Amino acid sequence: MTRLKNVSQMKPGEVGIVAGFTDDHLSVKLMEMGCLPGASVRFNFTAPFGDPVCISVSGYELSLRLDEAATISILN
């Protein structure tokens, strides 16, 4: 069984579909921000030290810390 990839492992320009979350508490907030299971995410760029990162989801740009991004599992 292959482990699901998460958003923090994506490369700039890469796209994927949100598959699920590994952190209950964060998932609630992420979903409110439009980061829903099934939504497509595009990894845009990272801040100079690799953290935080910027993704596009639900039609807008969202910045997340690396550890926040790591809780979003994706399929691509």
Partner 1 sequence: MASGKRLKIALVGNPNSGKSSLFNYLTGLNQKIGNFPGVTVEKKTGACSLLDGSVVEIVDFPGIYSIYPRSLDEQIVSEVLLDHHSSATPDKIIVVADATNLKRGLLLLTQVIDIGLPTILVLNMMDLVAKAGISYDLQLLSKKLGVPVVPINARNGIGIIELKTQLAATLPVSDKTIFSIWDDAKLPVKQLRDRVGIDNDYEAYLFLEQPQSLGFLNSERKNIVDQIRSEYKFFPGKFQGAETIHRYSFIQDLLNEITLKASVDQSWKKRSRQLDLILTHKVWGYLIFFGILFLIFQAIFAWATVPMDFIDGAFANLSRYISSVLPQGPLTSLLAEGVIPGLGGIIIFVPQIAILFAFISALEESGYMARVVFLMDKMMRKFGLNGKSVVPLMSGVACAIPAIMATRTIDNWKERTITIMVTPLMSCSARLPIFTILIALIVPDQKTLGFFNLQGLALMGLYLLGFVAAMGSAWVMKLIINVKERSYLMMELPTYRIPKWSNVGFTILEKTKAFVLQAGKVIMAITIILWVLGSYGPGDRMSKAEEVVQEQTKNMRLTEEGMADRIAAYKLENSYAGIIGKAIEPAIKPLGYDWKIGIALITSFAAREVFVGTIATIYSIGSVKEDDETTIKARMKEEINPDTGGPRFTPAVGFSLLVFYTFAMQCMSTLAVVYRETHGWKWPMIQLVYMTVLAYVSALAVYQILS
Residues forming contacts to partner 1 in the complex (CB under 8 A) are: 24-34, 36-37, 44-45, 47-49, 51-52, 54, 58-65, 68
Q: How far is it, in rounded angstroms, from Cα 21 to Cα 49?
A: 25
CA distances from 6 to 15, 68 (A): 11, 10
Could you tell me the smallest distance in angstroms from the CB atom of residue 34 to partner 1? 5
Asked whether the beta carbons of 46 and 53 are under 8 A apart, the reply is: yes
Q: How far is it, in rounded angstroms, from Cα 65 to Cα 76?
A: 21
**Nearest residue (CB) to partner 1, 11 versus 49:** 49
Could you tell me the smallest distance in angstroms from the CB atom of residue 7 to partner 1? 12
Could you tell me the smallest distance in angstroms from the CB atom of residue 46 to partner 1? 9
**Nearest residue (CB) to partner 1, 2 versus 42:** 42
